Amino acid sequence: MTTILFIGAILLLVIFGMLLKVQSMVDVVRGSFSKRAGFSNQVNAVLFLIFLIVGLGLFYWITVDSRQYYLPEAASEHGPKIDNQFWTTMIIITIVFVGTHLLLFTFPYLYQFKESRKATFFPDNHKLEFVWTIIPAIVLTILVLGGFKVWSEVTSPAPANHISFEIVGKQFNWMLRYPGKDGILGKHNFRKIDATNTLGIDFTDKNALDDFMPGEIHIPVGIPVKFNIRSRDVLHSVFAIHFRQKMDAVPGMPTSFWFTPTKTTADMRAETGNPNFTYEIACTEVCGAGHFGMKSKIVVDEPEDYAKWLETQQSFLSQNPDYIKDVPENLRSLAEQQLPKQAATDSATVVKAAASIQ
C-alpha cells in the first residue's frame, strides 16, 4: 500500500509539472512570452515552502519515532560523558541543519522574481564572511577540545587495581582467556595454535599455567576492567554498546580498552523490566559471511559473585593434561599442581614415554 501511494504521489507531481509546461506554451501562443517570469515562477516559490514544511515535519516524525533505536542507557562510569558529548554535538548540528534549511527554502519564496523589484548586487561582504567563518571555528574548537578531554580519559592507562582478560576474534566467534590466581595473563605464541589450544597459550611461561578459557565474559561491578584485544585472522571490532566502548581487533597488533561497569546484569534487568536482558559485545567490522552472528555474552556480577565464579573455573592445563609435555622441566612441578592427582600421574607417564621415544 505504501509503495502504491508513493508511486501515485510521484505521478501527480509529474502531471502537475506537465500542466505547468502546457501553461507556459499557452503563454507563448498568446504572445505573453515577453514576460521575464510567468505563473510557474510563483508556483515554484510556493513549492519551496511546501517542501520545507513537509520535509521538517518528516524530520521531526522520524526523530521521535526512532527513539527506540537510540543508544541504550550507559552502564559504565565514562558512559554519561560520552553521551553528553554526543548529544551536545547532535543539538548543535540540528540547530544548524534546521536554520540552514529555513533560509534555503524561504529565501526563494520571499525573494522570488518580481518585475517591480530590482536586486542589489555586491561581489563580497568581509564582515559577513568573517562572522560565518569565526563562529563555526569557535564552536568546532569547543567540540573538539571537549571530545579530546573525554577521549583522553577513556584511553588513559587502566588503574592499578584493574582486572584484565584477553578477547580474541576469529571468523566467526570470540575466544576468551582469563589469568588464574596469579592475576597475570601468560604469553601466547601463534606457533602453538592447534585444534585445542586455539589461542596458542605458551606453556613455557609460568604465568600461563593457570590461565583458563571460559565460555562467556564475567566482570565485577565497580572495578576497572581491561579488555586485551587481538585477532587471529582478519580485522574484527569489539563493540560493547552499553559500556560505550569500541576497539578494532587487528591481526598482529594488540589493542585494548578499559572501563568501570556501574550496573550489574541483575540491575539492568530490573531497570528495563526485561528478565532476559543480557549485556553483549558484537563485531562491528564486516569480517565475512558469518559476521552477523559474531557475538559474546557479558555478565556483570557483584564482586563476591565474581569471586565465586572465578573459584569454579578450571585452568586450560587441568582440562587438557596432555599439554604438560610442552611445559619445560623447570616448571613441570608447578604445572602438575594444576592437574588432578590421577591426571598428574598419567601426564608424568606420558612425559616419560615421550622422552624414551626421543
Domains and their CATH numbers in the chain: 163-319 (2.60.40.420)
Q: Facing residues of 278 across strands?
A: none
Count CA within 13 A, CB hemisphere, residue 184. 8
Cell of 140: 568546532
Using one digit for the tens of pLDDT, what is the confidence trace for 10-48? 888 778 777 766 766 666 566 655 555 667 778 888 989
Using one digit for the tens of pLDDT, what is the confidence trace for 305-346? 999 999 999 999 999 998 988 888 888 888 788 777 544 444
Q: Taking a C-beta distance cutoff of 8 angstroms, is the pair 324, 340 a contact?
A: no
Cell of 293: 552472528
Q: Quick one: DSSP state of residue 178?
A: B
| Single-letter amino acid code for the residue at 162 | H
Residues making up the chain, counted from first to last: 358
Q: Left, alpha or beta for 294 (phi > 0: left; psi -120 to 50: alpha)?
A: beta
- Angle at CA 218, nearest 5°, toward 266 and 312? 105
pTM to 2 decimal places: 0.77
Using one digit for the tens of pLDDT, what is the confidence trace for 94-114? 999 999 999 999 998 998 887
3-state secondary structure of 231: strand
Q: Which of 148-152, 247-251, 321-325 has the highest mean pLDDT?
A: 247-251
Rounded CA-CA distance 255/217 in Å is 18
DSSP 259-289: E-B-S-HHHHHHHHT-TT--EEEEE-S--ST
pLDDT at 212: 95
DSSP 292-333: GG-EEEEEEE-HHHHHHHHHH---HHHH-GGGGGGS-GGGHH
Rounded CA-CA distance 261/244 in Å is 10
pLDDT at 32: 55
